[in-house]
Structure 1
């Protein structure tokens, strides 16, 4: 077995291993993304097998055509998986066009002079186009991090690798005088070695991204309240604390709003717990629809909710609370009885650059208590009193002044 044949065998093993791994992930999870990647490597392994068969064919045209057709289908599956992973519509028409053009260019190139530069470029360019399409799809996504950037970089490198092959073939003596001679050439060794490197690094990066996604999903489930769809207390504290620390380092204003559904116990007692659950779901949707994406919204337990506002002062927080209160009046859920009117009370506090999350919540809770005692269905704000210079030997005593909005 020659060196190129040995690398081909490694390619089959690598592709098959990744195909099995992605299929298992697809079977164990709920996403179709691993399934697409599993198909990518499964079909790619069949393409590599066709490369093994070529030297034994009297007329290799059919095997040659099947081989590059399989590889185009493999890359099309990769594009579909990337589209679903990055929440884009699968570009079926574009994929079909690229696959058809790629297969056509491969068929046309077969009749070119085997060692010609034009033939090599006509054969390799469609593969490079698929890789560029994947890179563009990743880079134009809304939220990407370093792993995604690395994956996009690997796609660009893969495209350059395909475009480099005609030049390598020129300088290494070509791809053989016939398809049967290909496997014994220096070019075949280069091509298959680069293919192994690209397949291995891309597969590992895709696995890293999928594992990261699974960990994020597990964390999100542990931090999410199933009924309201908002953060639970644990998730709220974790994300709000991180935002508060960042805001205090950069001098960004912060505020806290706590909300409590009025007479919620009587809703459960009168209309049943199912109606109470619908109210929680509805109020969570109102908060989500009104709050900025930069804020943290959570259900702290029962009928109590909290919103941490980064980049917002007391006035902005109070206006937000008032807008939620107004939205509640005009957006009653259809699933609830017409006679039921749901209101909420709100307490608002503002950070001073050194306030802890617990203190922000304590002051907002105090304001909420005042809103409740004043008759409910209203907003109250807590304002720190101006600092007073203490007398000599006197212990400073912080005071909180409450005022109703």
Structure 2
């Protein structure tokens, strides 16, 4: 097997492995649909690379079109999944314009005015614009944590890779008159290697984000009372300790309210535990609303509650 074929099979193999990995994650976390979209994205990019090297029975021209359609669909899925994972509204119009424009220009220079160099520039500029669009969406969340910042930087690097690298290589190499020698050119080699590296880095960042989601959910379960939705005793004590330390350092006032529900046992005995559970849940909702995000509210016993209010005095 020659070196060119090995390099050509590199990206499909990586893509299928990453797609399978994200699919396994989705099977165990069905409430996170963006994982299934990520799996679809990587699985779609695999035939895209394969059809660049191998020709379908329909002929080379239609094979290249199918390949770029796979790339376009994969790019749309990947960008949508990344944006959706962070709770942002997916910019479907922007995604359609960038990828659709690139694919339309590719088709023009394939069927109407055949020109391989402009086909290369059309698709790369479209994907570059898509990467920068994702970076713009992640700009507002890049300060939320290391994975957000890494994905933001990778989106910028991906945009520069598609645009700047393509321009530099095309200018240095000159126009491509045909596919003869194309798959041994510096453009194709750098495209494959840069795509493999960026795909791995983006996938690792997304795997890390998914792992952090699981850890956050597990922590929430161990610190949250399932009936009231408030912090349990352990969660409240940890949150209260942190708030008290912050208020002490800043010399802010802080107040604590302790409350319980009177005659709660009689209520359970007379109306049943289901009614008692509803009373606890309703009272907890009022406490949570009154506390807001600045303070901490917890259920520290059966019908006993505690609220810590920073920036509040006793009055």
TM-score by length of 1: 0.72
Q: 2:33: which partner in 1?
A: 32
**Over alpha carbons, which structure has the higher Rg?**
1
- State the 1:72 CA deviation: 1.2
User: What secondary structure does 2:88 align onto?
Assistant: coil
Question: Contact 2:260–2:304 (CA<8 Å) still a contact in 1?
Answer: yes
User: What secondary structure does 2:212 align onto?
Assistant: helix
Within a 5 Å distance, the mapping from 1:280-299 to structure 2 comes to 280-299=280-299
Bigger shift: 197-206 or 30-39? 30-39
Question: Contact 1:236–1:296 (CA<8 Å) still a contact in 2?
Answer: yes
Cα separation, partners in 2 of 1:130 and 1:159, compared to 1, 3 Å: same
User: What secondary structure does 2:218 align onto?
Assistant: helix
How many aligned residue pairs are there? 312
Cα RMSD (Å)? 2.2
Q: 1:63: which partner in 2?
A: 63
Question: Contact 1:4–1:188 (CA<8 Å) still a contact in 2?
Answer: no
Q: 2:116: which partner in 1?
A: 114
Q: 1:386: which partner in 2?
A: none
2 CA distance for matches of 1:215 and 1:37? 20
User: What secondary structure does 1:262 align onto?
Assistant: coil
Cα separation, partners in 2 of 1:175 and 1:87, compared to 1, 3 Å: same
Question: Contact 1:98–1:130 (CA<8 Å) still a contact in 2?
Answer: yes
Within a 5 Å distance, the mapping from 1:86-235 to structure 2 comes to 86-110=86-110, 111-115=113-117, 119-141=119-141, 144-174=144-174, 176-179=176-179, 181-235=181-235
Question: Contact 1:4–1:184 (CA<8 Å) still a contact in 2?
Answer: yes
2 CA distance for matches of 1:307 and 1:142? 32
TM-score by length of 2: 0.91
User: What secondary structure does 2:116 align onto?
Assistant: coil
Question: Contact 1:229–1:284 (CA<8 Å) still a contact in 2?
Answer: yes
Q: 1:138-194 CA distances to partner (integer Å, 9 max, x unpaired)?
A: 223497212101111101100000002332323442474323532111211111111
Within a 5 Å distance, the mapping from 1:375-394 to structure 2 comes to none
Q: 1:376: which partner in 2?
A: none
Is residue 2:255 matched to residue 1:250? no
1 CA distance for matches of 2:311 and 2:7? 56
Relative to total residues, which structure has the larger helix share, 1 or 2?
2
